[in-house]
Structure 1
């Protein structure tokens, strides 16, 4: 991902639990910044990168990602103490998500129909995303197209790696509950089955390895049994590949 220095902190997005903010970059772009110093930790940033990359590979629109380099000087001039503390904890490399000006939240109207909705549902089931309900759809409509955003609540398995990398087979067999999903009512079983057959042909270990190559080394925190970025990338590939080979997780 491109490395972009942050030139200005604009405003917080207080509806987010991790207090993301709008920032401007040296490339004149405007980004939603997910901070490394937020309470949810670096693994949320890793999940964002992985699932965003998978979304693009299965034919979904998701905003461009960059690495935002945040300097200590930026925190010094922030008046809000809560934000100043967050910026100070986040000096270094953070995640930037391209800001889509004028986009509005999903309201139930599907711009591209059921096939696209089935791809969103499939991706969320595959990645075990628990955060795409009507309470928080994490879908935007921009220029008449549907965009998927905010994937940090996916890939929950890595939050249990404190004592070491677990068993990929356990994640592979874990069912996913679709009952609360914002798109479940519009995706019939035949459409989901067709998308499942298509996407299983598009994904494999090589694709997963390419996806993990997009994650910066310094966001891959060592765990027992996987102390290097290379070992952690291999662990993620194992988990994703095992999930792809299973079928019990699909609604």
Structure 2
């Protein structure tokens, strides 16, 4: 289970994100980037964050530690920004906290050249989870202590906004991916990562999602059934034909 902590102070908004996440201090003396359940995109964004970040961790990719953070109903009532106060008032109960990496810098593709193996693993992973939000415009990668960390997976698993659209073989367009120019070993990366994606791992990462974020999902009779749908989808995508991802063209090819 993810550790549960309590929010103690709202520090500042992170206005880079469309859902207006914020920097929050907690009773464990830690500082976190928090995504709120009351944001317009709703609880499914938090579900995607947990499943994808914890799956990435299970595959050996770096991503900040996640915790569930409790907001009291009175949290933020003295916040002077009306938009932020409305968001905090709409988010009592459990929200999602990601360890804040102090001093981290955004990944810059024009000055940083990751090795082909790493780039290929990240691109294949993003294809697996239907992550359309790691482009050169918005890399969602941080450089911290010399390593590259994956962040912000809320836009992944987008099919869960309409489960009828869930297709494990839906193609993934890697042409806009920030690491596409460096990802020259995608097939090998896929063979390696797919071998690590077991039902045990998927059962584990989906078990970390609180029941209350899965209850009342249209078309399902229980949180357990929703978890099973995620597991089945990702299992088939990882171990099926895998025709959904084509290796991106190398620099200088095509166009």
Deviates more, 1:8-17 or 1:237-246: 237-246
Structure having the higher helix fraction is: 1
Give the superposition deviation at 1:74: 1.5
**Cα RMSD after superposing both structures:** 1.4
Residue of structure 2 in register with 1:84 after alignment? 85
- Give me the whole-angstrom Cα distance separating, in 2, the residues matched to 1:141 and 1:44: 24
User: Within 5 Å, which residues of 2 pair with 1:1-251?
Assistant: 1-108=2-109, 109-110=111-112, 113-161=115-163, 166=164, 171-188=167-184, 191-246=185-240, 247-251=242-246
Kindly indicate whether the alpha-carbon contact (under 8 Å) linking 2:63 and 2:151 is maintained by their aligned counterparts in 1. yes
5+ unaligned residues in a row in structure 2: which ranges?
Answer: 247-255
Instruction: Supply the distance in 2 between the matched residues of 1:112 and 1:178 (Cα, whole angstroms).
Output: 17
Deviation at 1:48, TM superposition (A): 0.3
Q: Distance in 2 between matches of 1:217 and 1:127?
A: 21
**Displacement over 4 Å in runs of 4+:** 109-112
CA contact 1:111–1:145 (8 Å) conserved in 2:
no
Shift, 1:245, TM fit: 2.3
Aligned residues: 243
Give unpaired runs (5+ residues) of structure 1: none
Does the CA-based 8 Å contact 1:54-1:211 persist in structure 2? Answer: yes
TM-score (normalizing by structure 1): 0.93
Change in CA separation of 1:152 and 1:87 when aligned onto 2, cut-off 3 Å: same
